Amino acid sequence: MAHDGLSPEWRERGINNGILSKEAYSETVKKGWAALTSNQFKNGKVGYVQPIGDSPSKELNADSWEVYGTGAFLLAGSEVSKMNLD
């Protein structure tokens, strides 16, 4: 499962800044955030992160980790927390 962790952050930032419709995208954000949080471990590590310059078709696993994956996760989380998606 390869995905760009920054893509959700851009979508959420667009909603929070009035560029994208919250009504149109809130379900997508909820699903994306659920997928991202399912890849976070109790120690804070975020798994299934594609290495720089690697192919998206590469088989990833929970031990596939890069420091920027955690950064993208935190950026997305900061935007999700502003959305009040309850």
Which range marks the domain in which residue 23 is found? 6-83
Q: Cα 51 from chain centroid?
A: 15
Give the pLDDT mean for 74-79: 87
In a domain, 37, yes or no: yes
* Local structure of 83: helix, strand or coil: helix
- Tell me the pLDDT tens digit for each residue of 17-61: 888 888 888 888 888 889 889 988 888 888 888 888 888 777 888
Tokens coding 18: 């009035």
The model carries a pTM of 0.73
Number of domains in the chain: 1
In a domain, 50, yes or no: yes
CA-to-CA distance for 30 and 22, rounded, in angstroms?
Answer: 11
CA-to-CA distance for 25 and 8, rounded, in angstroms?
Answer: 11
